[in-house]
Amino acid sequence: MSFDVMDYFRQETLPHIWCPGCGNGIILRDFAVALERLNYPRDEVVIVSGIGCSSRAAGYLNFDTVHTTHGRALPFATGIKLANPNLKVFVIMGDGDSSAIGGNHLIHAARRNIDLTAIIFNNNIYGMTGGQFSPLTPRDKKATTAPYGMIEQSFDICRLAEGAGATYVGRATTYHNQLLTQLIIDGAQNPGFSLIEAVTHCPTSYGRRNGMASPSDMVRWQKDNAVWIDKVRAGKAEVKDGQFTIGLLHRHEAPEFTQAYMEVIKRARGQE
């Protein structure tokens, strides 16, 4: 049977609101392909999002979706998963959403190793609100709130997630979109907290302020600066200043939160 991406969309919500050349549509398609390959029953999938350009993605998908408040997608998703641990819960967040106002929730979802699959659309900026810098805007890059260049240090959200306890962490870009699909599939199958960073291009709010006015300039930048982690581990590549790794960055096994919670309920009821 052939795959028709439109089967996965609420067609009455289209056309989408994203700018021409935005990378969000590429990620959304990759996510739809991953859902098709995962082949979960549609009514067992829940997609939760926060606020921002990327978080509009949830509403376009023809599943049970919840468009929540800024930075609070993970608490909503945690409640949904705890209420029914059989559900496959995906969480869509932007870089501002997940690393600033929602940063604390990200740390604790990872620490608990709750079985959620978080997809971070990282365009290095607050796109929807007009291009303010986020904690993931690299130093010296320009934003409406940093017209002379960002003076704060950014951080690697994958390393943060790993340090906090996430059991599956991967990164791809809108150029490496087959990798992105595979990471979403593998992350969904990991029985614990999975974080997949999707480095995406925002020509409107980020690129045109930073010497990459066209989508193709931005995608070329991704191609030239993403370094496969397998090559780094094999000593065949190195990560130069300003570059970043892609691929499966981290994986380990640990007890999953909702399972542990159900065990506590059984114990409290004297059922074991």
Q: Which amino acid is at 4?
A: D
Of the candidate spans 15-23, 175-183, 217-225, 226-234, the one that interacts with ligand SF4 by CB under 6 A turns out to be 15-23
Q: Are 166 and 250 in contact (CB under 8 A)?
A: yes
Q: Which residue is at the shortest CB distance from Mg ion?
A: 94
Q: Which residue from 238, 231, 163, 247 is spatially nearest to 197, judged by alpha carbons? A: 247
| Tokens 């999953």 found at | 256
The one among 73, 92, 128, 227 contacting ligand SF4 by CB under 6 A: 128
Q: What are phi and psi of 200, to 5 degrees?
A: -125, 165
Tell which positions 190-209 bind ligand SF4, by CB under 6 A. Answer: 202-205
What is the spatial order of strands in the sheet that 88-94 belongs to? 64-67, 45-49, 88-94, 117-122, 194-199, 168-173, 244-251, 226-228
Pattern 230-249, binding to ligand SF4, x per CB under 6 A? --------------------
Whichever of 167 and 204 has its CB closer to ligand SF4, that residue is 204
- The answer to whether residue 24 forms part of the interface with ligand SF4 (CB under 6 A) is yes
Q: Which amino acid is at 62?
A: N
Encoded tokens for 162:
């790993």
Cis preceding linkage at 203, omega within 30: no
- The answer to whether residue 22 forms part of the interface with ligand SF4 (CB under 6 A) is yes
The one among 50, 102, 127, 247 contacting ligand SF4 by CB under 6 A: 127
Whichever of 28 and 128 has its CB closer to ligand SF4, that residue is 128
Q: How far is the CB of 138 from Mg ion (least distance, A)?
A: 13
Of the candidate spans 18-26, 27-35, 37-45, 81-89, the one that interacts with ligand SF4 by CB under 6 A turns out to be 18-26
